[in-house]
């Protein structure tokens, strides 16, 4: 648990229905922030929001498909209306559909590009004017080690995450004039549902072998704690890039 104080801040988290996003919403709420949770699975985010509210926090669940521009816009607008502002946007929603480029199902490419890249762009686009009006803010983009190192079978996912890393630094340089900080977080292997969406047996087998080698991988809360720490820095400090990996991941 982090000792960072986020009280009085509004934190919006995409992909908050499971894994890193869920843990981030809970950690931000535990640090005192009001939290808005976005994802397509409304029942899940409602359950998490109810937990936060029952524990004395303040949270709202907003059904959102970030790949749909109107839906991403509505997430930001509703967050501001319901919680009274927007201080921190955590762009965490993502999909990782691995496999060879040759013979790939190109629907999977579109899904990754639409969620990991366009979804993140839509949320930033909607959030920047709101943060500007509020005198500043903080955008935290969840990329991956896959945005720094490419690997076999991951080419298109690599492309989306390299994109997030490059975009984040470009946006940081643009947004600093409005007092908006930008951070890119690059997790290594975290135990979540992310891999489960891969139907390719080869991918599952390779992952199982790799996991044997790495041993204990990260838990979602490890990344959530890093995000809360980053968000809790004083206004003049922008931690622009952080890579967090399991100790034994090469």
Residues that bind ligand NDP (CB under 6 A): 14-21, 38-41, 44, 64-67, 92-96, 115, 119, 142, 144, 187, 189-190, 192-194
The nearest distance, CB 137 to ligand NDP, in angstroms, is 20
The nearest distance, CB 141 to ligand NDP, in angstroms, is 9
Q: Which whole-number Å values give the CA distances from 172 to 116, 157, 158, 227, 243, in the listed order?
A: 18, 23, 21, 17, 17
Closest CA to 113 of 73, 147, 163, 71: 163
C-beta of residue 88 within 8 angstroms of C-beta of residue 123? no
The nearest distance, CB 179 to ligand NDP, in angstroms, is 26
The nearest distance, CB 54 to ligand NDP, in angstroms, is 21
Dihedral of CA atoms 93, 195, 47, 70 in degrees, nearest 10, equals: 30
Nearer to ligand NDP, 86 or 146 (CB): 146
Nearer to ligand NDP, 110 or 135 (CB): 110
Nearer to ligand NDP, 132 or 163 (CB): 163
* From 122, 157, 162, 229, the catalytic residue: 157
Q: Is 157 a catalytic residue?
A: yes
Nearer to ligand NDP, 167 or 189 (CB): 189
Q: Strand 58-63 and strand 88-91: pairing?
A: unpaired
Residue environment code for 64-85, b if the CB has 16+ CB neighbours within 10 A, otherwise e = bbbbebebbbbbbebbbeebeb
Q: Which residues are catalytic?
A: 157
């Amino acid at each position: 648990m982090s000792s960072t104080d986020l009280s009085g801040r509004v934190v919006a988290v995409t992909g908050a229905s499971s894994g890193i996003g869920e843990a981030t919403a809970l950690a931000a709420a535990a640090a005192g922030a009001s939290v808005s949770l976005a994802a397509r699975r409304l029942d899940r985010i409602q359950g998490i929001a109810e937990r936060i509210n029952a524990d004395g926090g303040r949270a709202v669940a907003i059904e959102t498909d970030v790949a749909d521009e109107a839906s991403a816009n509505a997430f930001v607008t509703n967050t501001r209306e319901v919680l009274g502002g927007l201080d921190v946007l955590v762009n965490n929603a993502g999909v990782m559909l691995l496999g060879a480029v040759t013979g790939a199902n190109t629907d999977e490419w579109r899904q990754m590009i639409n969620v990991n890249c366009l979804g993140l762009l839509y949320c930033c686009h909607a959030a920047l004017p709101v943060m500007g009006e509020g005198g500043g803010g903080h955008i935290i983009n969840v990329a991956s080690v896959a945005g720094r190192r490419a690997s076999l079978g991951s080419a298109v996912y690599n492309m989306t995450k390299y994109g997030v890393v490059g975009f984040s630094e470009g946006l940081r340089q643009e947004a600093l004039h409005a007092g908006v900080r930008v951070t890119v977080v690059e997790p290594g292997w975290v135990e979540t549902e992310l891999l489960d969406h891969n139907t390719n047996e080869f991918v599952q087998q390779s992952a199982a072998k790799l996991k044997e080698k790495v041993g204990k991988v990260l838990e979602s809360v490890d990344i959530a704690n890093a995000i809360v720490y980053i968000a809790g820095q004083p206004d003049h400090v922008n931690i622009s890039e952080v890579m967090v990996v399991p100790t034994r991941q090469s």
